[in-house]
Every structure is written in structure tokens, then in C-alpha cells.
Amino acid sequence: MMAIDVDRYLHTERLPHIWCPGCGVGTVTGAFLRAALKLGLEREQTVVVSGIGCSSRATGYLDVGTVHSIHGRALAFATGIKMARPDFTVVVLTGDGDGAAIGGNHLIHACRRNIDITCILFNNQVYGMTGGQLSPTMELGDRATTAPYGSIDPPFDLCRLAEASGASFVARGTAIATRQMEKLIVEGIKHPGFAFVEAVVPCPTEYGKRNAPASVIAMLEDEKARTVPVAKAAKLSSEELADKIVTGVLFRDPGMPEFQHSYAAMVAQAQDAASKGPGR
Amino acid sequence: MELWHSHLLREKVDQSSLLVQGNRACALGALDAGVRFFAGYPITPSSEIMEAMAFELPRVGGTFIQMEDEIASICACIGASLTGQLAMTATSGPGFSLMQEAIGYAIMVEAPLLVVDVMRAGPSTGRPTAPSQGDVMQARWGTHGDHPAIVLAASNVADMYRLTMAAVRFAQRFRTPVTLLADEVVGHMRESFSPELIGRYRLTSGDFDFTPGYVHPELVREVHPPHVLGSETNPHVTGLIHDETGFPTNDPDKSSTFIRELYDKVGNHRDELCLYDVKNEGKGRVCIVAYGSCARSARAAWKMAEWEGLPVEVLHLYTLFPLPVEIIQTVARRVEFMLIPELNLGQYAREVRKMAENWTTVISMGKIDGTLISPREILDRVTELVGKYESV
């Protein structure tokens, strides 16, 4: 039984979790757990790092090595962990505020290095933990406590940002398509390089409260209706794709140089030089 | 003697002494102390430390990474520290300010770490190549909340070597970040440096065990069990107030106990942590209390005072925090004046005043024009004070 098997990666004594009814964070965390099970990740060899926010609280329930770090910096912590222990599987769980606003610079640099870390970014288009403030992925015109007249801030397309920054695996899934989400996470973790997986998740409490559609069911149905698989999207114009959620593996190049491989090669070169003489 | 990182010492004068830059001596000390992880971001006047580590660490199989900013640098160091690596970063005032939130995290999760701050004149961009001691209180209280701090201050090239080692040792023993402060002039000066120092101060396995998760038996009751990623315990590491399980708690008693324990593990070991040197002990009416470059001027002023027959002693502090309460109060009881020359507007003088004002008059001698305080300036002030004393 899958539901019981994933318990091996959970601190079941820490449950129930803090997420609101209808929140997509738990759904996608579930997809991560099933992906971990499918990959047979060793608990002692796996480190999950998060920042601050609703999605980042997931580390408090996972029975692997977990680091609940500071706001926006999960990828920087993860980079240090991965560089110190290249044998670890390192996964970052972050949100749109944590990963794309305060942590946006770390995101683009982690992509640029193409270091072998998997970043799952839960995009609910709102600051949920702090009570519904404007996020950098919120659509124009949407309302937030800090955008009471509707947002005038154009949103990020995080998958395009990740690809342009140098990530060698970029994918997007939604909370309604959980099997696909699980598959994308499996492929992201297996990928030898920086894998960016955007998970589009509903926040009925803080987003739905001020914007339509309001209910969880309506939000999920809306997500489903707007979903376009990547193969189909290739045949559509940009006008037709406006307002759509393109899902699947958007970019993949396993041949791009991975940072730790490059570092190991540099160490070998430096040690060879050191063996020949002391100075520069 | 083995000098595998000999390029750091390549400015050889002769066989018995070497000309070494302060920042390079710091890198040398770090390597000798076993530091094998460095993440940093370039900033004047500390960059030579990072450059030396960029060259040396790959040669010894260590890890060096230039991060996108100082926040990322210290976070990467904490990540490495959580796997059991000895990690360090080096920066200056603006970068040190950026690191403050993460330093608080490292204190909270008890991650050993070395942060070197080569101070330049501030605030803001200030004067990047001018010496300063303006970061003293930032090193103590830069991160928010009540927290302990271990802060050392180097006054010369040899200090940059040996205090770096001491800082690593303290970080490992007390499982907390340690800050080493140097004024720009200490980082950039070149001085003769005896190769014997390297042997004399090199840490041995008797000093501490490098095994991830090791706690010295003397400290096992005071230091919480370390989090080591990759160990069988699968630790949960969080900056939230947590209990002995590592998981968050909102329990008032547990919250208070946890923070007090963080304080006590440092505060209860002042004897070990407070490094200082007293010159002309018990023979002064005026004690010059100094650290960093000012301590050098203070020592020179004392020599000049001796020629002039003025009763002066010098308390040279290598540890600024935890506060060296005992030695400050011991000296305060026997002198009329404590004179504190520093390259700021009296940041440490205020601390000394709190400890000493019941027994002595504490006089701050601050300077913020980006130049050093000369021995003559100190001597003039001493002469003035002693004259005042004679006339009373």
C-alpha cells in the first residue's frame, strides 16, 4: 500500500500538518514522497532544504536530513551541502515568494552553475504564511492585502527564467495532475544537473479569498481547464497560450556541464600541479 | 618543516623569517587549522584571503566556491558546516552586514563556522581601503535577538595566523560561529613572520577531533547534540526555537531554557575564551586598553612612557566577546584611568565603562578619519591624564 510505504520518509508523529484544507502544498509534497519511494532514495543520503513560507514547512515532516533554513536562501544552503557532500541527493522545496522574490538571485545563479540539485518551487501566486500579500508570480489585476486595488506588477514566468539562466532540466506540473507531478519530480531528481520543477498549486485561503475562482474545487478545475501539455503547446500561438499553464518537461539537456564534475576536474588539475611544485 | 602551501610564504626574506601579508597569514592559519571549505564573495580589504583559498583548497582536495553575494556565501558555509565540514568565509563591513541574518541562524542551529571581517571605514561604502574598527558592535549584536558571540581581534600578521586557529578551535568546541576582526591595516600589512610560529600554533588532534558530530567530553553537558546531515539520526535543522529533538516548540519554558543554554555555553567559559596580554602589570596609574592596530600603538606608547617615567600599563585584548570581565575589573581596581584608543567613536569603551566605572575613570579616545592612532597621540593623552592626576 503506497500510503503506508511513503511513511518511511515521514515523521508521522509530527502530523497532522499545518496546511489549510484545499492547499496544494500537501498534494505536491505527497508527489515528492511517492517520487522518493519510486527512486528508492536512501534516507541518510538525502537532504531536503527549504526556506521560509508555507511550502518550506514541508521539511518539518520529512524523515530524511532536513534543513529549514532562512527566507530565500534554501538554494545557497543546498549549494554548500551539495559541494561538501556530492554523494547526497539534495532537493530544495521552496515557494514563489521564497524562491522567486527574496531568493530570486540565488535561483538564477544555481541555474547558471547547473549544480546537481533538484528545486521544486511551489507556485501558489501569493504569500500565504504571512496573510495574502503580493507575490512576484501573481497575475496582473489579482488582489492581495498589499495590492488591494489589483496587482500592477507583471508576473514572472519562472520556467523561462530557469531555462534562460542555464538550468539543464525545466518542468512544470500542477496539483491536479498528481501522477504527472510525481513523474516530473522523479525525472528531475534523476537528471544530472540543476533540475527546476515548478508546481502550480492552489491557495484557497489567501488567494481564493480575494480572487475568483474562490473555492478549492473551482480553483483545481480552473487549473485543469487551463492546462496544456507541452507537445500540444508547441502547435499553439502565443495568443492561444495566454493564460494557459503549459505542463510537462519544457527543457532538458543532460549533456550540459554539471558544476561538481567541473569542480572535480579542476581539483584533479590543481593536485597534479601541486605534485609538480609548490608555487604558482 | 612541511610548507605545502609555500606560495603563501613565498615572499621569503631569509631562512629564519618570512615576509607575509596579514590576509595571507589568515588563509594559512585556516588551512593549518583544517578548514577545507570556503565560500565567499570578493570585497576590499579582505579579498586576498579568498584568493589564497581559491588557489590552495583545490590542491588539498578541499572545496572553494565563489557565490553570488555574501548572503549566499555564509549560507553555503552553514550548509557545509551541517555536513560536518570546517567552513569559513571572509568579508568586510558591507558584506558582514549582509551576513547577519544567517549568522543568527548558525548560532541558533549551533553550526561551527569562522567569519573573518577585515574592517574598513564605514558606514555604507565608506572608505574601502581605510582602516577602521567600526564593526565591533556589529560583531556583537549584528544579528537580531538575544544571542552569544565569540569575537576575536587581530593586531598583527602573527595574530592573523594564530587567532584564526584559535577561532576555528573555539567554533568547533562551542559549536557556534566565531568572528575574527582585523582592521584593514592588519589585513594588508606585510610583516616578518617566523616559520616557527607555524609549528608552535598548529592544532593537533589533541586540540579537537575533526569527526563530524564530535563534542569534547568537557562540554558534552553544555553543547546540544550536533546536527550532522548524512548521519543515521536524520536531523531536522531549523532556525525556529526548538527543543532537544530539533523540532520547533512554542513552549515558554523550553524557549527560555534553549536561549539561556546558548548563552551559557559561551559565558561559562570566559576563562578559556578571553585571550589577553598585560604589559607592565600592576605598575600603571593609567591602563591603555586596546585591540587590533591600536594595541600596537598602545604598546609603543607604553615604551615611550617608560622613557619619560610615566606610569602606564597596557591591556591588549585579543578577545572582545565574551567580555573579559574579570581582567577588566582587576585592572580597573588598581588604576586611576582606563584609556581606550579605537578606530571608532568609542564602541568598546562603552563596554569597558559598564564593567569598570565603579572603580576607575574610563576615557574613550576614538578616531574615525581613516588614519591610525599613533603612539604619540596616545602618549600625549596619557601625559595629560597623569598631569591631571598629579595636580589633584
- Any idea what the CATH number is for the domain that residue B290 is in? 3.40.50.920
Who contacts B359 (Cβ-Cβ below 8 Å, separation ≥6)? B329, B332, B333
| Structural domain contains residue B189 | yes
Q: Is B55 on the interface with A (CB under 8 A)?
A: yes
Residues of chain A in contact with residue B3, where contact means CB-CB under 8 angstroms, are: 278
| Structural domain contains residue B191 | yes
Closest by CA to A59, choosing from A20, A112, A95, is A95
How far apart, in Å, are the Cα atoms of B24 and each of A80, B96, B186? 24, 19, 11
Q: Please give the average per-residue pLDDT across B352-360, as a whole number.
A: 97
| Structural domain contains residue B221 | no
B193 and B284 in a single domain? The answer is: no
- Whole-model pTM: value is 0.95
Residues of chain B in contact with residue A88, where contact means CB-CB under 8 angstroms, are: 83, 229-230
- 8 A C-beta contact, residue A66 and residue A88: no
Q: What is the pLDDT of residue A3?
A: 60
Q: How many domains does chain B have?
A: 2
| Structural domain contains residue B121 | yes
For residue range B141-186, what is the model confidence (pLDDT) as tens digits?
Answer: 999 999 999 999 999 999 999 999 999 999 999 999 999 999 999 9
Average pLDDT over chain B reads 91
Q: Which of residues 60-89 of B touch A (CB under 8 A)?
A: 60-61, 63, 65, 67-69, 71-73, 75-83, 85, 87
**In this structure, how many other beta carbons lie within 10 angstroms of the beta carbon of residue A14?**
16
For residue range B325-352, what is the model confidence (pLDDT) as tens digits?
Answer: 999 999 999 999 999 999 999 999 999 9
Residue A32's identity, in one-letter code, is F
| Structural domain contains residue B262 | no
Res. B380: pLDDT tops 50: yes
Q: Among B4, B67, B68, whose Cβ lies nearest the Cβ of A278?
A: B4
Segments in chain A below pLDDT 50: 1, 280
Of B201, B228, B243, the last residue of a domain is B201
Closest by CA to A257, choosing from A205, A199, A194, A197, is A194
Q: How many domains does chain A have?
A: 1
Closest by CA to B308, choosing from B377, B383, B378, B373, is B383
Closest by CA to B154, choosing from B175, B140, B133, B174, is B133
Question: Rounded distance, CA B5 to CA A274, Å?
Answer: 9
| Structural domain contains residue B350 | yes
**How distant is the Cα of B19 from the closest Cα of chain A, in angstroms?**
16
Look up the domain containing B65 and give its range. 7-201
**pLDDT tier at B218 (50, 70, 90 boundaries)?**
confident
Of B175, B201, B227, the last residue of a domain is B201
Check CB contact under 8 Å for A76 and B71.
yes
Question: Rounded distance, CA B266 to CA B324, Å?
Answer: 12
Check CB contact under 8 Å for B7 and A279.
yes
**In this structure, how many other beta carbons lie within 10 angstroms of the beta carbon of residue A222?**
15
Quote the cell numbers at residue A50: 527549504
B151 and B292 in a single domain? The answer is: no
Q: Among A11, A64, A270, whose Cβ lies nearest the Cβ of B58?
A: A270
Helix (H, G, I), strand (E, B) or coil at B266: helix
Place of cell 578541499: B62
Q: Report residue A136 CA to chain centroid gap.
A: 15
B189 and B327 in a single domain? The answer is: no
Q: Is A279 on the interface with B (CB under 8 A)?
A: yes
Q: Is the dihedral of CA B22, B24, B29, B35 positive or negative?
A: positive
Residues A44, A49, A54, A60, Cα dihedral to 10°: 30
Lowest mean pLDDT among A106-115, B73-82, B244-253, B330-339: B244-253
Q: Which of residues 11-40 of B touch A (CB under 8 A)?
A: 37, 39
Q: What is the length of chain B? A: 392
| Structural domain contains residue B353 | yes
- 8 A C-beta contact, residue B142 and residue B103: yes
Lowest mean pLDDT among A224-228, B6-10, B235-239: B6-10
**In this structure, how many other beta carbons lie within 10 angstroms of the beta carbon of residue B390?**
8
Of B183, B201, B219, the last residue of a domain is B201
Lowest mean pLDDT among A108-117, B198-207, B361-370: B198-207
Residues of chain B in contact with residue A64, where contact means CB-CB under 8 angstroms, are: 234
Look up the domain containing A10 and give its range. 2-276
Residue B383's identity, in one-letter code, is T
B143 and B15 in a single domain? The answer is: yes
List the CATH number of the domain containing A58: 3.40.50.970
For residue range B221-232, what is the model confidence (pLDDT) as tens digits?
Answer: 888 888 899 888
Strand partners of residue A68: A50, B238
Given phi > 0 = left and psi -120 to 50 = alpha, else beta, which region is B166? alpha
Closest by CA to A29, choosing from A5, A53, A1, A6, is A6
Residues of chain B in contact with residue A11, where contact means CB-CB under 8 angstroms, are: 236, 247
What percent of chain B is predicted at pLDDT more than 90? 79
| Structural domain contains residue B179 | yes
Check CB contact under 8 Å for B234 and A88.
no
Q: What is the pLDDT of residue B13?
A: 41
Residue B114 DSSP class: E
* Beta strand residue intervals within chain A, DSSP E: 46-50, 65-68, 89-95, 118-123, 169-174, 195-200, 227-229, 245-252
**pLDDT tier at B6 (50, 70, 90 boundaries)?**
very low
List the CATH number of the domain containing B32: 3.40.50.970
3-state DSSP percent of chain A in helix, strand and coil, to 5: 45, 20, 35
Check CB contact under 8 Å for A80 and B68.
no
What percent of chain B is predicted at pLDDT more than 70? 90
B196 and B314 in a single domain? The answer is: no
Residues of chain B in contact with residue A49, where contact means CB-CB under 8 angstroms, are: 79
Check CB contact under 8 Å for A77 and B78.
yes
